[in-house]
Chains A and B, each alone.
Chain A
Amino acid sequence: MSGGPLIVQSDKTLLLEIDHPDAQSCRMAIAPFAELERSPEHVHTYRLTPLGLWNARAAGHDAEAVVDALLKYSRYPVPHALLVDVAETMDRYGRLQLANDPAHGLVLRALDRLVLIEVAKSKKLAGMLGAKLDDDTIAVHPSERGRLKQALLKLGWPAEDLAGYVDGEAHPIELAEGGKDGGKPFTLRSYQREAVEAFWAGGSGVVVLPCGAGKTLVGAAAMAEAKATTLILVTNTVAGRQWKRELIARTSLTEEEIGEYSGERKEIRPVTIATYQVLTSRRGGAFTHLDLFGARDWGLVVYDEVHLLPAPIFRFTADLQARRRLGLTATLVREDGREGDVFSLIGPKRYDAPWKDIEQQGWIAPAQCTEVRVTLTDAERMSYATAEAEERYRMAATARTKLPVVRALVDRHPDEQVLVIGGYIDQLHQLGEYLDAPIVQGSTTNKERERLFDAFRSGEVRTLVISKVGNFSIDLPEAAVAIQVSGTFGSRQEEAQRLGRVLRPKADGRQAHFYTVVSRDTIDTEYAAHRQRFLAEQGYAYTIVDADDVLGPPLPSVD
């Protein structure tokens, strides 16, 4: 028994005890092949998946090294069967290769002829493979590259993609680290630098960083690395403008070089920012804006908030396998369970950092999460009790009892910029009146939104009530307090994204506060528990307080 920090479970999870002196070196040793699944305060959970093991193979780690790492750090004997399984799984990678043949273009080449015969017979690959060139080689149409890789992965024979990437149309892009037009000089943070390097070495993939940790900058740095025309896909127009602002400030790009492709404007420039919405809009059943992908010889495609990528974009992405793809997200948790598609089409996870680690390094604001439980009035309880099942969450989430609690919370932070986030428009209007604060919702025009956000940034408006539109990609660095009153049922990533609104580091290193107001003894509490799971797994421990403690005159400390 080595007394190491790692415990290998038979369901292929690895438990890493982080208080152990060897924990850090163990983390470095297992990170290349194991997926970090949960990182609560004491024991982090990693998982050995075929995908992770194959990625490790792709990155040059062999089975022997994986087994050695497991044996070296494992506290207890590792089951023989698991080691055998790891070795066998890794052995499946690379028996097939996708390569560029000088004469025939893209080909699928076998190092193990039997595997090629097996997959060629598979029904799932029907139509993807072309003519058989010789016993070990089959021609592949370049447009099938992504689908073929995806299908091979499902068959358990992942192909090594040696076909490389097209460079795309060159376009000079530099990071303006020295500061531009009188802007402040800056340098890439260490983890941003690592993320870009990991992405560039892997060719394509997803970078997972907490909200507020500067994902835009990672994108900008990747563009500077590619030095090519870039297509950036974002969730909405406001986020697109933020990208534009950021790119102008942080890179050598000028306003004329960046185009916006949205519902309002259709500009195609060397760097084009398009929204998911406009790409997935259809007329007469056909996607009308697909030409954008072929409009230029893009050298890099950046997907912002990749966890929200709509299904049609997945399909378009399958055709873009020869182009470098960068996915950015804070929470690679898809409520539809399509993480696997993200991996196979955009690329594997190239960089991931536990939120708490980045917080400790001071790059995101330390946050305190508090769940405030309000007790419904008897009348509210009665109407809740007799409500239809589908109405219950709305009843519980929009209870009027929450209003005074929200006001008390706002009053508690008189010097801070406060966001009040909710999912139900009626409730938001109530709140807006009650708090006398402006509202940003889906129907608010982009211009009005910009104005309100600017006012909020400048401190003119202290409290802003926002609906679901504020879930993502709004850069409001001064927001230090977020109060969530209702949400989209039990969505884990929504909770994390909302916390992300207050995580941008504050000028004076203040603490951020995230409150979620829930109704006690209702389905609201259950959803809240589910929503908090992702953050709890990232090590954010919620403190639960009673609404009476918030409302009561002398405020006791909740720490």
Chain B
Amino acid sequence: MTTSLADHLRTLPDESLAALLQLRPDLVVPVPADVSALAVRAQSRVSVARALDGLDQFTLQILDAARLTRDPDDGTTSTEAVLAMATAGPRPPAPATIRGAVHKLRALFLLYGPEHALRVVDGVDEVAPYPAGLGRPATELDARTAALCADPAKLRRTLLAAPPSARAILDRLAAGPPVGSVPPGALQAPPLGAEDSVPPDPTNGGAPTGSPVRWLVDSRLLVAVSAGTVELPREVGLLLRRDSGPLGPLRTSPPPVAAVAREAKAVDSAGAGQTMEVVRHTEALLELLSAEPAPVLRSGGIGVRDLRRLAKALALDEATTALLLEVAYAAGLAGELELSGATTTRYGADQQVLPSGGYEVWRAMSLARRWEQLARAWLLMTRQVGLVGQRDDRDRPIGALSPEAERAGAPAARRAVLAVLADLEPAVAPTPEEVLELLDWRAPRRSRGREAAHREALVEAARLGVTGLGALTSYGRLLLADVAEADERGGDDPLGLRADAEDASTAVRALDGLLPAPVDHFLVQADLTVVVPGPPDPALAGELEVVAEHESAGGASVHRVTTASVRRALDAGYSADDLHDLFRRRSRTPVPQGLTYLVDDVARKHGGLRVGSAGGYVRSDDEALLAEVLADRRLEALAFRRLAPTVLVTPYQVNRMLLALRDAGYAPVPEDASGAAVLSRPRTRRAPGRAPVGRTVDPLASPKLALPRLLGVVEQIRRGEAAARAARRAPAVVRGTAARTGPAPAHGHSDALAVLQQAVRDKALVWVGYVDAHGATASRLVRPVSIGAGYLRAEDERTEMLHTFALHRITAAVLEGS
């Protein structure tokens, strides 16, 4: 059959081949060597799966129809047969629609051959084993079932006899997939009618009666295909589907959306409001990170505690904070910094997340551009933020920015969801359920199992202001178009040379039109609040940051001038006049008198205390004397400064000043911290004290020894002597060298045991030769105490210790003196 697809492909003109390659671009990676290689690849499981993934529900159903109508002998079908099957159910779709679907399948070469002899490529059966959710024909499953199916009347009777619980199972399997699993033991059942004699079945909850599944298997309506799996034969399935048609309910067009259409302006306005929030919160988030960077955990990502801290400071929930953090990271606004060397934090981390250099550039951009950068990053980032805060396979929490939240399919999910919204009329706001249904129709194979990701994408789109009031915003639509266009252009402009970063994209221009223009003035009120009625321009924002406390943000911002904020401004180098001027210049309303007074009051007190450091001071009650010191040219090097008529300070240390002053003929007295005079009597230096030499001993007088000491000495000498004798006398058999050259060790070992046992009884001294833990041979004179459990316990009289020898290590034993 492979050859036949290859043959078929060979007969095609170049344009048709090119059309195939365009529809299935994966076939040319790498470029196939010849047509048969192309044919093999086009039928391969992977390529077919890819082609099927892109198909909508209806086309897939038509493909199923083609598969079901294949002639069992030569495997061909025809358009007519497909038409017949597809229109068999109630409310049959128009034949033209079906033909269109067949045409599409043929263009993809999932079906090929002439209309009267269509073939299905091989890979399809591998990729989707159960066409239209129907099982295999009964003949392939079980002979007795086949016999039942061959008799339609009997089959129908059996079906009608099915008890309701069994019928429910059948209906579920008939809707597809046709395979079900059953608990182990449910099928190991007695024949019908013999339930009473069955002992209780613990795996079935103790009930001995037959389960509905067992009834079905016994009645041949289900076939047990393997342990714990049953399959519904195709014939039974078709019979059960007689109400809905053999392919199940057919839907030729996407499910309709019952959603209300919002006002386009309201949608854009809500979305634009949200974009302002997103940009503002992202900036605040990054500022927080800049003030206190979040440490990176060993396992990657940042910890729950840090995320909580950020969320709390931003007054957002953790999910939104995680989203903003991930988006900012993806947009290149935040990055990790290696901490150098030993500066590990209390988390043991050596990396921190903090704003990157790109953040500075971003901050200087217009609001709409800043948002666009974030939104683009969100569209393209391979992160599924919804996983943050959930637990991974090992039941550990998944942190923001951690590798566990990486999902390659995330961008595709987002694009799919947004594409659904983009295909609707503008400002139509479908419910999440409707969006999921639409996705399920458009590409059932792709959206299955991704519902969670799709829902998340919808929530994130709303949070980022891509959608407003549930509908795609106008600028969101433009952004999608921009990204799609960039994708297409990406093909012939791989280096992005043509991407003109200078020009604002259409999305940015559209959003710009919706966002408030920056303002350069504010309103000052008597309660000392400063209201900026719109987003402040950067210069104004910078000034306000210094002179006022931030109170409320949003479309406008409210600040409050306080004593502390004015002091901060003065510290930052503003003078009172500068501040008055600033308020006069920027305020649209008369500056309240209270504010003027506040500024003057704080300015008057500002700097009332002066703080500095000095190396030393000179003070004197005699002002004239101090004046003289100050004027003395010889003391110029000390750089005296007069703090008060009676105090001079110098940056130099006290000792140097003292010397210089004395050299110049003055008579200064140093003071300590409490102001007491420090006396300068010269101090003599001394080494640490030593004990004198003790009582001298007459070297000529002989020492006197007391009797006990003498006796002790004698005993010590005797012992030494005994030890020396013993060492000398260790018999050759016992000494290692002799043993190795001597008779067989096994012989020596059993002899040794006998000797030792005798010695235990006689309490005699024995020379024991043994191999120590390091493999060296050694010998010891001991008095055995006991033998047992493979060990010899013996006393060594010389060292007065109890030794334990492993018997198997003992090589020889000789009674002392023998």
Q: List residues of A whose CB falls within 8 A of some B CB.
A: 1, 7-11, 13, 15, 17, 38, 40-43, 45, 71, 74-83, 520-521, 525-526, 529, 533, 536-537, 539-544
Contacts and interface: CB of A to CB of B under 8 A. Distances in A.
B753 interface: no
23 contacts: A7-B556, A9-B553, A9-B556, A10-B553, A15-B533, A40-B529, A42-B523, A43-B529, A43-B531, A74-B555, A76-B515, A77-B274, A79-B270, A79-B277, A80-B271, A80-B465, A81-B462, A521-B605, A529-B598, A536-B525, A536-B528, A536-B594, A542-B593
Contact of A76 (B516, B523, B553, B592): B516
Contacts of B274: 77, 79-81
Contacts of B275: 77
B527 A40 contact: yes
B382 interface: no
Contact of B468 (A43, A76, A80): A80
Nearest to A537: B527
Nearest to A20: B533
B554 interface: yes
B525 A77 contact: no
A82 B280 CA distance: 15
Contact of A42 (B462, B589, B594, B598): B589
Contacts of B277: 10, 79, 81
B227 interface: no
A7 B554 contact: yes
B208 interface: no
Contact of A78 (B270, B280, B515): B270
Contact of B266 (A8, A13, A71, A526): A71
Contacts of A80: 270-271, 273-274, 462, 465, 468-469
Nearest to A68: B266
B534 interface: yes
A540 B526 CA distance: 8
B723 interface: no
A10 B556 CA distance: 9
| Pairs of residues from A and B, 7 with the lowest C-beta to C-beta distance, nearest first | A9-B554, A77-B273, A76-B555, A536-B527, A77-B272, A541-B526, A79-B273
User: Interface size class for chain B?
Assistant: 35 or more
Interface in B773-816: none
A475 to B, nearest CB: 29
A81 B463 contact: yes
A200 to B, nearest CB: 34
Interface string B575-591: 00000000000000100
A10 B280 contact: yes
B5 to A, nearest CB: 53
Contact of B594 (A10, A15, A83, A544): A544
B514 A15 contact: no
Contacts of A82: 273
Interface string B466-482: 00110000000000000
A1 B516 contact: yes
Contacts of A521: 601, 605
Interface in B518-538: 523, 525-529, 531, 533-534
Contacts of B526: 40-41, 536, 539-542
Interface centre among A79, A81, A537, A543 (most CB of B within 10 A): A79
Contacts of A79: 270, 273-274, 276-277, 554
Contacts of B468: 80
B556 A15 contact: yes
Given A7-B556, A77-B555, A80-B273, A42 B266 contact: no
B347 interface: no
A11 B557 CA distance: 10
Nearest to B562: A529
Contacts of A75: 516, 533-534, 555
Interface string B258-275: 000000001011111111
Contacts of A41: 525-526, 589
Nearest to A15: B556
B555 A38 contact: no
A81 B463 CA distance: 7
Contacts of A541: 526, 592-594
Given A78-B270, A80-B469, A15 B527 contact: no
Interface centre among B462, B529, B553, B554 (most CB of A within 10 A): B554
Nearest to A521: B605
A447 B555 CA distance: 58
Contacts of A533: 527
Contacts of B49: none
Contacts of B269: 71, 74, 77-78
A40 B552 contact: no
A75 B556 CA distance: 10
A137 B514 CA distance: 50
A15 B523 CA distance: 12
B510 interface: no
A537 B528 CA distance: 9
Nearest to A11: B552
Nearest to A5: B533
A24 B153 CA distance: 83
B73 to A, nearest CB: 61
A83 B463 contact: no
A531 to B, nearest CB: 12
A525 B601 contact: yes
A42 B597 contact: no
